[in-house]
Structure 1
Amino acid sequence: MGTLAPLAEEPESEEEGLSANKRGSFRSWLKNLQLFHRKSNLKALLSVMACPLSPVSILPKQLRGVASSAEYIIQQFRATSGCGKLERNPVKSMFAAGRVEMTGKHGPSAAAASSSGQEGSFVMWQMSPAMWLINLKIAGLHVSAGSDGHVAWRRTPWLAAHTAKGGVRPLRRALQGLDPMAIVAIFSSAQHIGDKQIDEEDCFILRLEVDASKLSYQSDNTVEIIEHVMFGSFSERSGLLLHLEDTQLMRIQCPGAQSMFWKTTISSWMKDYEPTNGVMVARSGRSVVNLEQFGVSGDKTMSVSMIMEERWIIDDVDFNVPGLSADFFIPPEGIKRLS
């Protein structure tokens, strides 16, 4: 990835002008998205990869002792990632800036026709796992998302600011080796299901499944979240999180039409862990998304897939950012009315 003009390294609060025909929700746009229209590639890439959320919220749970193999794995991660330092000297905020490159391919294999790679950059601020803001710009398009601890929202050039279903959850990028405290909190209720090699390194595998009540809360009358499962692969040697994968299956039922299914699998590999103020941070990595759309259309069975890839490099990361306050995370005006 080449050198890019940096984004402004302070949270943006001004409203972007949006015409009435851009108002709506991500779900209404998703219902109309056709993966086989290649001009939709970049929109699909940004909608799925720019700012996905964790499947679950941060749980108010503290580990006490080593009562299971899963808790042992998390305790090992805490020790090697620097969580102890963060607990002794509480971190009030975090900042990260980096570069991304995104590509999309149509078809189920790596040999499928692909779109040209698009380069961009992002900045992220966080005061807690539930209070965050991210701005990402790529190919002249700007996607932003945030949470004030009470409501999460997102805004794209083709959709006005809208709330995220399912309540406040951490940003998935924070779990990609940036925020060890969030990783501990998210996986504190996971189960150890076995071992697996990731990039020729032996790893413990933790499985986290979203329960039915939370799936129902994230669903509505047209979109039903059927399943959402996350796996974390922690190195047996270093204790660090090397691989993160989550799969979501949902059913979309539009009035007068047959149900369609969407299956989204995001796999992320974290690389180049380096200490920053005593905390181990993954400085690079990549994510691969497999997006499948299938169902019955008329008298035909339809199945379309798209593979997306993002590579990222973290150029700057810091903790306890001077001057950052809760005021920077106030949602856009429209979101206030919705919340």
Structure 2
Amino acid sequence: MASRARKKQQRWCTQPLTPLMEGPDPEMQEEGTKKESSWEVIREWFRLQKGGGLGVHGSSSFSLSLYGNIPSKTQDLRLLLGVLGCPLAPIPLATDPLHRLHIKDIPIETSSACYIIQQYLAATGCLKQEKGMKNMYTTGTMKMICCETEISTGKSVKSLGTRSGENGCFVLWQMSPGMWSLELVVGCNKVVAGSNGKIVWRHTPWLGTHAAKGPHRPLRRIIQGLDPKSTASLFAKAQCLGEKRIGEDDCFVLKVAADRAAVMERNEGPAEVIRHVLYGYFSQKSGLLIYLEDSHLTRVQAPGNDTVYWETTIGTSLWDYRDVDGVMIAHEGRTIATVFRFGEVSMQHSRTRMEELWVIDDVVFNVPGLSFDYFIPPADIFDVDNSP
């Protein structure tokens, strides 16, 4: 009897969970079968901000101005998830190990970068690992914030928006080489993305499922302090640009960039990718990666409209490195993204700043039972690819 009473006292109380938007967004049903790409979501968000900001009521980014039946607060969240949710690195991971590169046959900028990357591998503990990492499980929390929008009309500059955000969390699975799966929940929306080593895909409630164009590229979240070996592989053929001070650290600056043929494969309709570069800042004192920045420039030439340029810059500060099974992993960071729109009318531009604060809660290596089947792409990816 005493044991039964004890069990009743230990019984957990159930708590309702917030519903997640995993399927088609009901707010998009009135738009029929209209298909949008990710850059079109960004373009429409800026159009909504410009119209709301210059209107009679001077509405902010969290106002109730509408695009169809979609409140601008929902548009803000879509912009945040589209830019910061699951961006990819500009280039694929290198297939040749660093130790196979012949220093005598490469420029001094590249050989210096190779030396810096070797120091990074040593600082993170990867060179001392006796057993290779087969897979990785990571959980984390974040807060995404749409800070402000700056609209310039040539004669005046107007700032809109309030510093409000949404809390969220994510689960990331990774298996070498190149396979990963990400589930990210912010607000009431869920974004799922993944790769089987050949195809990179993403699903959002407002865009559905679609595959990333161009070469197979790694998830940016993986290279920002979670997997030092993938980070080193990404910078295997980097160039050392010199030194720069970040905060209180003197850093070596390494640069990698997608070549012209690779960025052309990522063109989508009237959107043409001009360049995509990535900069890594490695501390001279600790050897660790403390700042990561990439810049992505797209040109949009729609029929009957002026050419518009979109430049997205994402900078991530990394800190709180901790030892996890002999590997130093960054457990906290801050990402600031800026979307800059210009070129439509001379002396006019729009600039939006957004932010993500993230914390890694748990990292586990070599989880038993994880197989290749977990990274199989959804079936509708192939339906989209085969559609006329």
Q: Normalized against structure 2, the TM-score is what? A: 0.78
CA deviation after TM superposition for structure 1 residue 150, in Å: 1.2
Matched, 1:308 2:360: no
CA deviation after TM superposition for structure 1 residue 295, in Å: 2.1
- Of 131, 134, 147, 1:105 maps to 147
Q: Structure 1 268/257 Cα, relative in aligned 2: closer, same or farther at 3 Å?
A: same
Is the 2:322–2:330 Cα contact (8 Å) retained in structure 1? Answer: yes
Give the count of matched residue pairs: 324
Is the 2:199–2:211 Cα contact (8 Å) retained in structure 1? Answer: yes
Instruction: Return the alpha-carbon distance in structure 1 between the equivalents of residues 118 and 243 of structure 2.
Output: 17
Structure 1 stretch 91-100 or stretch 33-42: which is displaced more? Answer: 33-42
Structure 1 counterpart of 2:375: 329
Structure 2 counterpart of 1:12: none
- Of 331, 341, 346, 1:293 maps to 341
CA deviation after TM superposition for structure 1 residue 249, in Å: 0.8
Instruction: Return the alpha-carbon distance in structure 2 between the equivalents of residues 257 and 334 of structure 1.
Output: 33
1:12-161, aligned counterparts within 5 Å? Answer: 16-17=23-24, 21=33, 23-34=35-46, 36=49, 38=61, 39=72, 40-64=75-99, 67=103, 68-86=111-129, 88-108=130-150, 113-128=161-176, 130-161=178-209
The structure having more radius of gyration, on CA atoms, is 2
Q: Structure 1 318/310 Cα, relative in aligned 2: closer, same or farther at 3 Å?
A: same
Matched, 1:245 2:293: yes
CA deviation after TM superposition for structure 1 residue 128, in Å: 2.2
Instruction: Return the alpha-carbon distance in structure 2 between the equivalents of residues 315 and 85 of structure 1.
Output: 25
Instruction: Return the alpha-carbon distance in structure 2 between the equivalents of residues 267 and 152 of structure 1.
Output: 22
Instruction: Return the alpha-carbon distance in structure 1 between the equivalents of residues 263 and 255 of structure 2.
Output: 17
Matched AA of 2:248:
E
1:123-272, aligned counterparts within 5 Å? Answer: 123-128=171-176, 130-272=178-320
CA deviation after TM superposition for structure 1 residue 21, in Å: 4.1
CA deviation after TM superposition for structure 1 residue 288, in Å: 0.3
In percent, how many aligned pairs have the same letter?
41
Structure 1 stretch 254-263 or stretch 267-276: which is displaced more? Answer: 254-263
Is the 1:251–1:262 Cα contact (8 Å) retained in structure 2? Answer: yes
Per-residue CA distance 1:109-150 (angstroms, 9 max, x = gap)? 9x8633412111001001025211101111111111111111
Per-residue CA distance 1:178-219 (angstroms, 9 max, x = gap)? 000110100011011111111211111101121111111122
> 1:34 aligns to what SS in structure 2?
helix
Question: How big is the alpha-carbon RMSD for the aligned residues of Structure 1 and Structure 2?
Answer: 2.3
Instruction: Note the residue ranges of structure 2 that are not aligned, 5 or more in a row.
Output: 1-15, 53-60, 62-71, 104-110, 151-156
Instruction: Note the residue ranges of structure 1 that are not aligned, 5 or more in a row.
Output: 8-14
Matched AA of 1:267:
G
> 1:142 aligns to what SS in structure 2?
strand
Query: Whose RCO is larger (CA < 8 A, sep 6+)?
Result: 1
Matched AA of 2:375:
F
Matched AA of 2:23:
E
Instruction: Return the alpha-carbon distance in structure 1 between the equivalents of residues 186 and 203 of structure 2.
Output: 14
Q: Structure 1 105/325 Cα, relative in aligned 2: closer, same or farther at 3 Å?
A: same
Instruction: Return the alpha-carbon distance in structure 1 between the equivalents of residues 344 and 24 of structure 2.
Output: 39
> 2:46 aligns to what SS in structure 1?
coil
Per-residue CA distance 1:90-126 (angstroms, 9 max, x = gap)? 11111110000011122359x8633412111001001
CA deviation after TM superposition for structure 1 residue 84, in Å: 1.9
